[in-house]
């Protein structure tokens, strides 16, 4: 079957089927992109440590034949992941000491984070939780009651953040049950979802999901994660529109990544594209120093210079906050 017809058939399938058909080995992804393994610094060892996983809906936005494609760089296991970089660790943002109980992280005043799942639709090589002990800390069904009770017993908590992994990989039934429980907590004002799925697997944004999100009686905020304007394709735009048209507030957070978006023009185009589709540029993070990610690091000095140039180019509402996260800090730290 010709490649474009195969893609057309793929995108008629539901999100679970599309997820099941994600690329999970280097050879298949490179063949799809018309690339030779000899042209890339790929590492089978890195893939064994942190498996490759890329939905076709994301890979389809990569430039075929380009070994330096900025989307490919985010997902391809490479030899540099095996190098040791000073100051990099398995828990770079101090999540583990903040775990009050299984699946609940209480780091900042007024909000808690629930680790709902350890699974993602895509394995981003720069992920700060790539070494996270999800089997020990994710919020399993048996621990969910205790997590809800913790929120109920702390009236200063006004916002719950669903995270992971990716919380939108939970089934609609599981999400609906969780939202019913959260909506019954009177002092809770907002439910915030951090998800990469509207970008990498937009088929997940179904009518049933949107109904679950909008019928809970709480304000719902979704923070998507887009690092480069090339990630925004027509399927992603459709997902954005469906969410926004139902009154869901959409923000974006990015990570500043060497060889991906460490360029003024690229950062400006990302903000322009996001805002044109109703997404507010929110945060631009310095890289969290997780083991295996050092080759992505952009220095704070370079980052500051880049954001100053972005500020000189764009109106203020299109400039994301340049921030870093430090273990034990009371909030994310603004750099500029």
| Intervals of the chain under pLDDT 50 | 1
Tokens of 317: 């509402």
What pLDDT, on a 0 to 100 scale, did the predictor assign at position 336?
A: 77
Residues of the chain with CATH 3.20.20.70: 96-334
Q: What is the pLDDT of residue 246?
A: 96
Task: Give the distance between the most distant pair of CA atoms in the chain.
Answer: 58
Cα–Cα distance, 158 to 124 (Å, whole number): 30
Considering only CA atoms, give the Rg of the chain: 19
Q: Which fold has domain 96-334?
A: TIM Barrel (3.20.20)
> What's the pLDDT at 128?
83
pLDDT value, residue 164: 82
Buried b (16+ CB within 10 A) or exposed e, 272-290: ebbbebebebbbbbbbbbb
H-helix segments, 171-259: 172-183, 197-200, 207-214, 234-245
pLDDT value of residue 147: 86
Specify the pLDDT at position 1.
46
């Amino acid at each position: 079957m010709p490649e474009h017809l195969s893609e057309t058939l793929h995108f008629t399938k539901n999100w679970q089927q599309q997820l099941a058909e994600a690329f999970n080995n280097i050879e298949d992804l490179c063949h799809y992109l018309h690339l030779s393994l000899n042209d890339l610094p790929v590492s089978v060892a890195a893939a064994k440590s942190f498996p490759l996983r890329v939905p076709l809906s994301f890979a389809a936005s990569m430039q075929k034949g380009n070994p330096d494609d900025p989307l490919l760089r985010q997902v391809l296991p490479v030899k540099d992941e095996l190098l040791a970089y000073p100051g990099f660790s398995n828990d770079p943002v101090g999540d583990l000491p903040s775990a009050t109980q299984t699946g609940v992280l209480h780091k900042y005043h007024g909000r808690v984070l629930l680790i709902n799942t350890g699974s993602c639709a895509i394995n981003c090589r720069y992920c700060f939780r790539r070494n996270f002990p999800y089997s020990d800390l994710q919020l399993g069904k048996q621990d969910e009651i205790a997590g809800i009770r913790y929120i109920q017993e702390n009236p200063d908590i006004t916002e719950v953040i669903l995270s992971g992994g990716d919380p939108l990989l939970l089934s609609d039934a599981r999400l609906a049950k969780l939202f019913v429980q959260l909506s019954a907590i009177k002092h809770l004002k907002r439910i915030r979802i951090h998800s990469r799925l509207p970008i990498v697997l937009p088929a997940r944004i179904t009518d049933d999901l949107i109904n679950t999100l909008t019928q809970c009686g709480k304000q719902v905020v979704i923070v998507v994660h887009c690092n480069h304007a090339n990630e925004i394709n027509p399927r992603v735009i459709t997902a954005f529109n469906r969410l926004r048209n139902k009154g869901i507030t959409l923000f974006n957070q990015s990570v500043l990544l060497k060889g991906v978006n460490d360029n003024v023009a690229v950062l400006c185009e990302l903000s322009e594209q996001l805002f044109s589709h109703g997404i507010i540029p929110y945060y631009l993070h310095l890289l969290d120093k997780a083991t295996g990610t050092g080759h992505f690091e952009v220095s704070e000095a370079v980052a500051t210079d880049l954001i100053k140039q972005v500020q000189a180019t764009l109106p203020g509402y299109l400039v994301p906050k340049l921030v870093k996260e430090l273990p034990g800090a009371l909030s994310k730290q603004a750099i500029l």
